[in-house]
Structure 1
Amino acid sequence: MIDLNFLSGVYVLLTYFAAAIFIIGVLIKIIVYAKTPMPVKIALTPAPQTKAGSVGRVASEILLFKSLFRANKPTWVAGYIFHVSFIILILLHFARHFIYHYHNGVVSLPSWYPLFVNAGIVFGILMFLSLFYLLFRRMIVDRVKIISIFSDYLILIILMMIAIAGLSMNFLISASALTKIDNRLDPFINGIATFHPINIPSNPYFLVHYSLILILVAYIPFSKVMHFVGVFFSPTRYMTDNPEEKRYYKPNAKDLSL
């Protein structure tokens, strides 16, 4: 490990701290979800009557947001665009790291790399616009506004700020400054992953973007973003509607069994 400057030392500690909160928090949530008593069948009808049907139902919710599509199509469009854009952006960030690592930095990047960068910009814009619609909807639709709490607005604002900060790196700084960030980011990420940290890129636009990502990562276990795990433990989704064919019994709910 090289000697870290003060700023890098702070960000290295914050990175490990955020990662620890995320991992421990998600694991605790999973344990809580798994131990939550489910004494009765509460499948949301019409519900499948076979396990294969239940798997298909959960898969359709995860991949297609089927119930949201039936309930509110404009919200489904915005929500689906956001989730797809967000996932693709995460994958693009990981892919970018491996591309830089494989091609030894900016000097030998493949000719198609600008298309890769442009794809990130497009999905970043789509992510921001979809989040803006979802936030605007919470603010003006009375039936949504009345059930919204501070955390509902906070997570949308954090995600929008991440998108703005990421896009600003492509639109508000010079190509040479962006190249400098890219050259230093790959070894920084490798250092974090191998527990041999080095100095972080010091560009203020990057630091804002990275800081917001750390805030998001640390906040996820305490937010409704945990639905990416909770959907697998939702009895209204995964339960089969066969109480007459098969008696439902759970040991952690034995006091309520007949």
Structure 2
Amino acid sequence: MDNLDFVSFMYVILTYAAFAILIIGMVWKIIVYAKTPMPVKIPLAPAPKTKTGAFFRVLGEVFFFKSLYRSNKSTWVGGYVFHVSLAIVLIQHVLRHYVYDFYHGNHPAWYNLLVPIGLVFGTLMLISLVYLFLRRIFVARVKFISVLSDYFILVLLMLITIAGLSEIVFQSPAALEKSVVQLDAFFNKLFIFQPVDIPHNPFFLLHYTLVLILLAYIPFSKIMHFVGIFFSPTLAMNDDVRENRYTDERTTRLTI
């Protein structure tokens, strides 16, 4: 780290700090979720009778947001478009880095499709985020239950998306490719604790700064629902109350 310039040094420290907060915070939250007592069966009816059925019901919520679809189809469209677009953009980011690294810069022809894919789904992501944000402002019942953190996370995600799209829209293909080459070295060395200078591209630095803020914020935000849903008693429990009744040992000693 002695050869790093000041900006790179600060971003290396911030990157390690953000990932440490993310990992430690998520592990802590998972432990809290797992240790939370759930002695009483409270599955959301109609509920499956078996644990296998309950497992597949959770998967249905994770991949298709089935309960949201039944309750509010317009919100389902906005939420589903956002989550699918986010997943594709994340995959695009990973492929863009590791495919480039695997082929040592001599990437296959389909590699060039990754930039327009990121542009299309990044735009869809931004549109869906704007819709979800406006919904919290103009739908009275949603505005009533919204708190500051709900608006903050939506604004943060919108800023991240806008900054990412700006990298594509306001830069030439050559400048974008140069950033990819520099990023390839930066992240590879970062993972083995031999950091090198970060690209000083202002579009990237803004995008990356906002992403680091998001990563550090995740364990303390509602974004943890992507983990918490697997511990949700109303979804993850099967309906076997008749077969396995809950009894408290203290009540068995009571006499009338």
* TM-score normalised by length of structure 1: 0.94
Q: 1:179 aligns with which of 177, 180, 183?
A: 177
User: Equivalent residue of 1:37, what SS?
Assistant: coil
| Deviations 1:116-136 (CA, angstroms, capped at 9, x unpaired) | 211111110011011110001
The 5 A counterparts of 1:6-85 are 6-85=6-85
Report the Cα offset of residue 112 of structure 1.
Answer: 2.1
**For each residue in 1:124-170, what CA deviation from the matched residue of structure 2 results, as whole angstroms up to 9, or x when unmatched?**
00110111100010110000000000000111111111110000001
Cα distance between partner residues in 2 of 1:2 and 1:96: 29
User: What is the distance in 1 between the residues matched to 2:14 and 2:190?
Assistant: 11
Equivalents in 2 of 1:163, 1:78: separation in Å?
16
Residue type of the alignment partner of 1:201: P
Corresponding letter in the other structure for 2:19: A
The aligned counterpart of 1:4 is: 4
Indicate whether 1:120 and 2:118 are aligned.
yes
Partners of 1:62 and 1:204 lie apart in 2 by 36
Give the superposition deviation at 1:183. 1.2
Q: Equivalences for 1:68-147 in 2 at 5 Å?
A: 68-105=68-105, 108-147=106-145
Query: Take 2:4 and 2:251, find their aligned partners in 1: how far apart are those partners?
Result: 61
Q: Is the 8 A contact 1:39 1:257 kept in 2?
A: no
* 2:96 and 2:111 in contact (8 A); partners too: no
Q: 1:248 to 1:179 in 2, by over 3 A?
A: same
| DSSP 3-state at the match of 1:146 | helix
d(CA) in 1 for partners of 2:163 and 2:156?
10
Q: How far apart in 2 are the matches of 1:167 and 1:255?
A: 60
Distance 1:69 1:111 in 2: 39
5+ long unaligned stretches in structure 1: none
Please say if residues 29 and 221 of structure 1, whose CA atoms lie closer than 8 Å, have aligned partners that are also in contact: yes
Rounded Cα–Cα distance in structure 2 between residues aligned with 1:216 and 1:69: 27
Tell me the distance in 2 between the aligned counterparts of 1:16 and 1:248: 46
- What is the distance in 1 between the residues matched to 2:196 and 2:2? 6
Compare 19-28 and 84-93 and name the one that shifted more. Answer: 84-93
C-alpha separation in 1, matches of 2:145 and 2:251 = 34
CA separation of 1:162/1:255 partners in 2, compared to 1, >3 Å: closer, same or farther? farther
Q: CA deviation at 1:231?
A: 0.3
Distance 2:243 2:74 in 1: 39
Partner SS, residue 196 of structure 1: coil
SS in 2 for 1:42: coil
User: C-alpha separation between the residues in 1 aligned to 2:165 and 2:219?
Assistant: 26
Please name the residue that 2:203 is paired with: 205
Question: 1:188-227 counterparts in 2 under 5 A?
Answer: 188-227=186-225
After TM superposition, list the pairs within 5 Å mapping 1:151-190 onto structure 2: 151-190=149-188
**What whole-Å deviation, never above 9, does each CA across 1:15-53 have from its counterpart, x for those lacking one?**
000000000000000011111111311111111111121
8 Å contact kept, 1:39–1:256:
no
Q: 1:8·1:198 contact (CA, 8 Å) conserved in 2?
A: yes
CA distance in 1, matches of 2:218, 2:22: 7
The aligned counterpart of 1:228 is: 226
State the alpha-carbon separation in 2 of the partners of residues 94 and 74 from structure 1: 31
Separation in 2, partners of 1:84, 1:135? 18
* Aligned residues between the structures: 252
